[in-house]
């Protein structure tokens, strides 16, 4: 159903209708009536397999006639995978130019799970920032890192892919460093910001879930907060520190990562006057061969990939002693993996078998580097079984 205004101008209103409806300005509506009468047949599909994010911009002046023909070769192509149980999500991709102070765009629904082709305007003059929500009502949002595209570029992106866990994104904004992305020490203070949720595609939530963070120095607790962010106290003398972050996701739209617990261990002493030193906070990347439903076949063994690396340096894999445990009853009992294989590039492989009737796999990974830097991460419902 198409509804036009009864006077010149746009018609912006809500329409209560059991069938799809949209509004147009008066001139467009009158033109349609003159051409086709009162009945117009429109065909389409509810979820398009492609979408175009086009942002025409002009340097120096705005041309008298704003018209541009865009070819696929002029755009960047992204094959986007949206993981999760059956439902509807929402997404928006914000374009930003250096002189823009704010951007307003309307989010569009996206089917979950689904795969689609996304075409985006390329060029260094525009920086894009994607945002995707797990529900059409814009609950459970994850933010992507800012990026520019090249004409002809082809890439893949995975939203809500397992394993979802706390971490620091690989690509950061210029001003993130002052807030502790990545975490650092200056004087007798740590400045740290660890995102509560980081998915398999490096998208993150800013404050999703209920969190509790604690800092220990030589075994004694010195601080506790409801997020692992901000400034934390450090002692002038050398000491052993332990950071703990517990996050719980009780919202119905999160099928994965119902609970996570991450513990970092590192040594630190006061750096030279005026010097800023990055903290030895390890991260774990997980490679899970899950389908778009976030699950792997239950009837055959699953081969998992692991990568251990310092924050924001995903290619600098750490040589560490690694232990892996799995649980098929959401953490009530655990079984240690018999063998963790290390590849030549430093990545790790673990094979997991599944008992009959299990519905999900929980993971615990402990890694201790030669210098004593460590991470111990537990994810309840890391991925599903189908």
**Strand, helix or coil for residue 18:** coil
Per-residue pLDDT reduced to its tens digit, 91-149: 999 998 888 888 888 899 999 999 999 999 998 789 999 999 999 999 999 999 899 99
pTM: 0.89
Partners of residue 259 on adjacent β-strands: 248, 380
- Domains annotated for the chain, with CATH where assigned, are 2-36 (no CATH), 50-159 (2.60.40), 166-385 (no CATH)
Task: Give the mean pLDDT of the chain.
Answer: 92
Per-residue pLDDT reduced to its tens digit, 28-72: 888 888 888 767 777 778 889 999 999 877 778 888 888 778 899
Q: Residue holding tokens 């963790």?
A: 340
How many helices, marked H, and strands, marked E, lie in the chain? 1, 28
Q: How far apart are CA 167 and CA 104, in angstroms?
A: 29
Q: 340 CB contacts (<8 Å, ≥6 apart)?
A: 306, 322, 323, 324, 348, 349, 350
Per-residue pLDDT reduced to its tens digit, 176-197: 778 888 999 999 999 999 999 9
Buried b / exposed e over 289-311, threshold 16 CB at 10 Å, is ebebbbbbebeeebebebbbbbb
């Amino acid at each position: 159903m198409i509804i036009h205004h009864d006077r010149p101008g746009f018609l912006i209103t809500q329409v209560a209708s059991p069938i799809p409806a949209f509004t147009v300005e008066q001139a467009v509506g009158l033109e349609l009536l003159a051409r086709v009468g009162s009945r117009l047949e429109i065909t389409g599909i509810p979820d398009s397999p492609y979408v175009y994010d086009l942002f025409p911009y002009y340097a120096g002046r705005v041309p008298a006639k704003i018209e541009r023909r865009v070819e696929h070769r002029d755009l960047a192509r992204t094959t986007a995978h949206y993981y999760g149980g059956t439902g509807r999500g929402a997404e928006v991709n914000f374009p930003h130019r250096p002189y823009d102070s704010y951007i307003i765009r309307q989010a569009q629904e996206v089917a979950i799970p689904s795969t689609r082709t996304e075409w985006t305007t390329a060029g260094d003059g525009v920086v894009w920032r994607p945002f995707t929500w797990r529900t059409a009502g814009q609950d459970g949002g994850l933010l992507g890192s800012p990026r520019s595209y090249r004409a002809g570029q082809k890439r893949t992106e995975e939203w809500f892919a397992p394993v979802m866990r706390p971490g620091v994104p690989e690509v950061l904004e210029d001003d993130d460093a002052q807030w502790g992305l990545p975490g650092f020490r200056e004087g007798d203070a740590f400045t740290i910001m660890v995102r509560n949720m980081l998915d398999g595609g490096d998208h993150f939530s800013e404050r999703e879930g209920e969190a509790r963070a604690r800092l220990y120095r030589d075994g004694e607790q010195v601080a506790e907060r409801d997020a692992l962010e901000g400034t934390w106290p450090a002692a002038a003398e050398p000491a052993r520190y332990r950071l703990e972050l517990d996050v719980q996701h009780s919202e119905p739209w999160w099928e994965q990562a119902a609970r996570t617990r991450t513990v970092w261990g590192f040594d630190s002493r006061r750096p030279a006057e005026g010097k800023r030193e990055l903290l030895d906070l390890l991260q774990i990347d997980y490679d899970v061969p899950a389908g778009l439903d976030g699950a792997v076949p239950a009837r055959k063994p699953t081969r998992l990939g692991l990568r251990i690396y310092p924050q924001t340096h995903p290619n600098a894999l750490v040589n560490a002693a690694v232990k892996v445990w799995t649980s098929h009853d959401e953490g009530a009992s655990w079984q240690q993996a018999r063998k963790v294989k290390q590849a030549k590039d430093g990545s790790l492989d673990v094979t997991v078998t599944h008992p009959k009737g299990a519905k999900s796999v929980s993971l615990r990974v402990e890694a201790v580097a030669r210098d004593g830097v460590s991470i111990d991460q537990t994810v309840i419902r890391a991925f599903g079984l189908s």
